[in-house]
Structure 1
Amino acid sequence: MNDGKPPRRRRLPLRALAGALTVALALLCCTGGTAAFFLSGLGGDSAEQMTPMSVECTGDFQVDVSGKMPRLADYGDSQLRNAARIIGTGQKMKVPPRGWVIAVATAMQESRLRNLANRTVGESQGLPNEGVGADHDSVGLFQQRASWGTVRQRMTPEYAAKKFYEGLLDIPDWEQLPLTEAAQRVQRSAFPDAYAKHEAVAAQIVDALAGGAARTALVSGQEICDAASGKEVAASGWTAPIAGGVGSGFRTSQRPGHNGVDIGARKGTPIHAAASGRVLVSKCDPDNSGRETCDVDGYPGKGGCGWFVDILHSGGLITRYCHMVTRPHVHEGQRVSAGEVLGKVGSSGNSSGPHLHFEVHTEGDRSSRGATDPVPFMWSRGAPLTAKK
């Protein structure tokens, strides 16, 4: 869906990828009139900024704790080495990569990946530390309190990570939970919504330190690179909303106002949430005449997105799902998990045949100004919208 105005070109935050598959359907899509709408991230905080990286998913995920650390914005050598120790502990315990992302994100929130002492406990024992915390008797990367072990134990990164993973593994179906919920069940923090804002950067750190492991999905019991689709969610927390190939692409020369991509699919195909988040919009988008006529198939030039859903994700990211066949299954304000069914593919609104029009927006901006190309974005999350060549 777009606002009908020539788009203002933005520098894409990720390297554009070529080679999108074409599909038989020649699909046309939305020309609705969504105005600019700015939102903060989940929980009221925006995600930390970090220079985007292109990290291939190698299949060799072993982290080198003692090796040279990559250069990542805002995180120094000692912080990334602590992240490597958290990941390495997870690997030894055979925790899936999704757990590494959750653990790293949690430590980012609790300590910014620094091994913190406590003013009255850690420093009095003369233990090496990377700073001093201020929360009661909490110490270490995860700011664990006395019930988690001795001060020396909690300030040993491997011990602290092991205790976190043990708590995580005790949670039923933890891999299907939103990151912030899984982390909160272990940590019992006073600020339960704060973990979500670190998910994207935590996934990038895991990718950089462990060969693209955050881009893997569990398929038939195996961790497979770049295969997240539907209910199969990548360790990054993202999944392709439907399986299929991109037909009409993002802002092509033929359609410069096309702010998303069209994925052909049969009418009635389930559409899945690309990541966990909160539903912002779930309604019928009026056509060019201002009427809400989404219960019938649309046609080229009709205007509007038909039945559609917008979801706000951590870091101010927004995804949009257009042309559903009937009213969406979710309502405004509802929290949804990655892979949750939002509705079904249809052809309502400005459409020439059944397909999903899918958009990704950044900085909490639902207008065309916030739109970015979903193909490289989703590829970087291990949830490609097209088959890998």
Structure 2
Amino acid sequence: MTAVSRRSVRIGVIASILTGVLLLLCCTGGTAAFFLSGLGGDGEDGDSLAGFGCGPIRPVDIVGELPRFTEYGDAQVRNAAIIIKVGQDLGVPSRGWVIALATAMQESALRNLANSDVPESLALPHEGVGADHDSLGLFQQRPGWGSVAERMTPSYTAGKFYEKLVKVRSWQRRPLTVVAQQVQISAYPDAYAKHEELASKIVDALAGGAARTVEINGKAVCDAAERGEIAASGWTAPIPGDVGSGFRTASRPSHNGVDIGAAKGTEIRAAAAGRVLVARCDPDNRGRRDCDVDGYPDKGGCGWYVDLLHAGGYITRYCHMVVQPRVRLHQIVPAGEVIGQVGSSGNSSGPHLHFEVHLRNDRSSRGAVDPVPFMRARGAPLRAAE
């Protein structure tokens, strides 16, 4: 039995015992959270988390004062804290906390929901009545997940979610909505993605920057997502290398991205899971499509390039590839997937990756933002040249 499984079983047993206590208390929020705090792991978890940096990352406190979010009330944020705390106690990498949180945000809006189809659930502490048949709790789990009392216990339901999550193949790299769907089997599988950004922010706020960490050799390291390593936010640097020409500088005001120097043939990776919008040769200034020849000064445009659409309406662009991209139109690619190689096609004076980030599904210059602070906020910083 794995460490995750052993701890999950321990959580389930303790949660069942506590259910009777919660029934007697008939409360939500502070007092219930006090008893649930006993589900936390041993002190070793807290000690190891404190050394990861980023804030530093800390064990989540589910009983004290919590940060405020305009989207959610105190009880909902406290449920979010319970979900993260269970993930910490089970030793699940912090990417799992973001996925679990986004899933609960979609399923219940972070409210512990009872259901009128299951009358006994109304006798348990709850924060609203759902309408989805016999589904209950934060994750709207059905009877196969446990008893009514168990599914109405936030710590138990979070533990069961993580137990299934870690069995999903390549779950840390695949799109959040795909992974969540494999755990939940929802009728609306595409809905989870819209919560990823806010889920990352809540994890950062409650656990001291945890969404910016990446698992390297079994340890969480802050702001180091590159070479295919994925931060808990779901992002990674497209290539390792130093930023040369920056975003919309005085000398290049129409430069809508940054140039990252690298040797020809260096592998370029998808900065996050997404769908391919474009994978083609960009016409030069004369309308020719000849991207297999280094461009400068005779060529214009991006040369061989790829545009990816990510959750939240973000678009990333990768220009000047040496040969045709390795991906095709409409393909779904996981974070860190190799999509091409560094080259000098198009308007390029030497091998490098021209990298852009766009907001609001806008591929034009109007949607472009500086990739440096954007990627830094997601734990996948682009290195500045010395």
In 2, Cα distance between equivalents of 1:354 and 1:388: 16
**1:319 maps to 2:336:** no
CA distance in structure 1 between the partners assigned to 2:198 and 2:128 by the alignment: 22
Deviation at 1:174, TM superposition (A): 2.2
Equivalent AA in structure 2 for residue 219 of structure 1: I
Counterpart check, 1:116 vs 2:113: yes
The change in CA–CA distance for 1:388 and 1:233 in structure 2 (over 3 A counts) is farther
Alignment correspondent of 1:74: 71
* Pairing 1:167-246 to 2, within 5 Å after superposition: 167-246=164-243
| Pairing partner for 1:159 from 156, 160, 185 | 156
Distance 1:327 1:217, change over 3 A: same
| Counterpart Cα distance in 1 of 2:119 and 2:312 | 33
1:59-138 pair list within 5 angstroms? 59-121=56-118, 125-138=122-135
Matches of 1:207 and 1:97 in 2, distance apart? 10
- On the 8 A contact 1:216/1:235 being kept in 2, the answer is yes
Amino acid at match of 2:77: L
- Read off the aligned partner of 2:276 and give its amino acid letter: V
**CA offsets, 1:247-290, max 9 Å, x none?**
01111111111110000000000000000010000000011111
2:337 is equivalent to residue 343 of structure 1: no
Amino acid at match of 2:156: Y
Residue 310 of structure 1: which of 272, 283, 307 is its match?
A: 307
Q: Provide the TM-score with structure 1 as the length reference.
A: 0.83
AA matched with 1:352: S
Kept in 1: contact 2:372–2:382 (CA 8 A): yes
| CA deviations over 1:269-321 (Å, ceiling 9, x no partner) | 00000000100000000111111121100104732010000000011110000
| TM-score normalised to structure 2 length | 0.84
Q: Distance in 2 between matches of 1:197 and 1:128?
A: 29
Q: Would the aligned equivalents of 1:233 and 1:239 in 2 still touch at CA under 8 Å?
A: yes
Quote the offset at 1:388 in angstroms.
11
TM-fit CA distance, 1:172: 3.1
How far apart, in 1, do the equivalents of 2:81 and 2:297 lie? 52
1:121–1:265 CA distance, 2 compared to 1 (3 A)? same
For residues 261-340 of structure 1, the aligned pairs below 5 Å read: 261-300=258-297, 302-340=299-337
Name stretches of at least 5 consecutive residues in structure 2 with no aligned partner.
1-52
Query: 1:217·1:233 contact (CA, 8 Å) conserved in 2?
Result: yes
Aligned to 2:352: 355
Instruction: Report what 1:39 is aligned to.
Output: none
* 2:245 counterpart SS class: coil
Instruction: Report the more deviating stretch, 212-221 or 265-274.
Output: 212-221
How big is the shift at 1:177?
A: 2.3
Paired residues of 2:121 and 2:148 also in contact (CA < 8 A): no
Identity %: 68
Ranges in structure 1 where 5+ consecutive residues have no aligned partner: 1-55
8 A Cα contact 1:230 1:271, kept in partner: no
Q: Work out which of the residue numbers 372, 375, 381 in structure 2 matches 1:378.
A: 375
Paired residue type of 2:306:
V
Deviates more, 1:352-361 or 1:218-227: 218-227
The residue type paired with residue 344 of structure 2 is S
More helix by percentage: 2
The residue identity in structure 2 corresponding to 1:166 is E
